[in-house]
Structure 1
Amino acid sequence: MQTRKGQSIEDESMEIIEREIGPHPYKGHEWKIVRRIIHSTADFDFAGKNGLVFHKDAVNAGLDALKSGKNIIVDVNGIIGLLNKQNLQDFKNQVICDISNPDVVKEATKLNKTRAQTAMRIRASEMNGAVVVIGNAPTALLEVIQMVKENATRPSLIIGVPVGFVCASESKDELQALDIPFITNKGRKGGSPCASAIINALFKIVRGD
């Protein structure tokens, strides 16, 4: 194997995806986002039976929020590690994650809630107009959904792709019932690579790449 530069590898990977994908329902910006997830996960299922589902206003809402420097609120630190830091610096987006906040740990114990739920609830005000990104904890997504229903907060976009066997699929179904811009997927698959890929893809679209 020859040593290859990153961009060369990425370009060839995208060409392979285009050759192997077969028929799919996505076009334009939506396809760019789905393709970025496939690139990050090597899983064509994100364009198939576990494919992404887009609210009709999701892409435009996400682009407007990110290029305006709105907060990005995430459920786990793993998502932060996979985000392109140059984008965050250039557009001045603050990334917020409270999953390891000692106050959240104490409050979660007191309320008998998960840390992921509590971490979302304490950021209600910062969540207004923000992009909420959930890749791991279905309880975090369910909490945000409940907050929206209570009119406690109104994000610009909810990216809900939690992974798992308990409530992951169900939480995504509930998200699709909300009248708010969202990007989610069907089934149990998801995770930090999937969630961060959506944000990185949106930034690429903002930049015109």
Structure 2
Amino acid sequence: MNSNIVTEQLTDAGRQIEHDSFAIVDSEAGPHRYTEQQWQVVRRIIHASADFEFNGLVRFHADAVAAGLQAIRRGAPIVADVEMICVGLSKPRLDYFGVATHHFIADADVIALAKAENSTRAVQAMRKAQQLQLLDGGIIAVGNAPTALLEVVRMINDGQIIPALVIGMPVGFVSAAESKAVLSELNEIPWIVIDGRKGGSTLVVAAIHALLALAEAEQSQAD
């Protein structure tokens, strides 16, 4: 049973329900090819969605988990495509590591530029994050907007940014699967993706919470 203090549920009853849920996921998920740490991310995504198809749909760059844990431990910023991700993340868990979250999708200047350039708010939001120097060494979390993910990949390929980790899980029918496929072709930048059309902000939150729990567990072992 997990001995984490900060990244666990706050009450004994809540912790027991969560542990029982994870036990059910483990017993019903069937075989998988994930490492132990990768499985902690996948099982939490399954737990958040009650969808066992994510056993296999979630894919990891070989360095993804290690890079994510290192970024969290040094308090790297998380830049999300939408506010829902920032709202969904546990503030006490983030504060424990000194991690701040950012989103710019609703900013007036972002909206104005999107209209002026006939692009999307998601694209302009990522450009603003880059201008604020939040993407270099940060965790980029995309759960809604494929155009945000495509813009991130463009900036990486153009040598504008070197993020610590890109979590690419946009949901939808237009460019969602394609944007994740393009991200997963990158070799130098760690990534976590959900193949196909499935995804969403809730699943990004689940993945980050799993990384936070792993980071706390590693820190506890080190102490």
Task: Verify: 1:19 aligned to 2:18, yes or no.
Answer: no
Partner in structure 2 of residue 194 of structure 1 = 203
**Runs of at least 5 residues in structure 2 that lack an aligned partner in the other structure:** 1-11, 219-223
Partner in structure 1 of residue 193 of structure 2 = 184
Task: Verify: 1:166 aligned to 2:174, yes or no.
Answer: yes
Instruction: Report the 3-state secondary structure (helix = DSSP H, G, I; strand = E; otherwise coil) of the residue aligned with 1:183.
Output: strand
Partner in structure 2 of residue 9 of structure 1 = 17
TM-score, length-normalised on structure 1?
0.95
| Alignment counterpart, residue 63 of structure 2, candidates 54, 57, 65 | 57
Task: Verify: 1:143 aligned to 2:151, yes or no.
Answer: yes
Partner in structure 2 of residue 116 of structure 1 = 122
How many equivalent pairs are there?
A: 204
Partner in structure 2 of residue 80 of structure 1 = 86
Instruction: Report the 3-state secondary structure (helix = DSSP H, G, I; strand = E; otherwise coil) of the residue aligned with 2:53.
Output: helix
Task: Verify: 1:34 aligned to 2:42, yes or no.
Answer: yes
| Alignment counterpart, residue 105 of structure 1, candidates 90, 97, 111 | 111
**Runs of at least 5 residues in structure 1 that lack an aligned partner in the other structure:** none
Task: Verify: 1:157 aligned to 2:165, yes or no.
Answer: yes
Instruction: Report the 3-state secondary structure (helix = DSSP H, G, I; strand = E; otherwise coil) of the residue aligned with 1:127.
Output: coil
After TM superposition, the runs of 4+ consecutive aligned structure 1 residues lying more than 2 A away are none
Give the Cα separation in 2 of the matches to 1:31 and 1:98.
31
2:61 partner amino acid? H
Instruction: Report the 3-state secondary structure (helix = DSSP H, G, I; strand = E; otherwise coil) of the residue aligned with 1:159.
Output: strand
TM-score, length-normalised on structure 2?
0.89
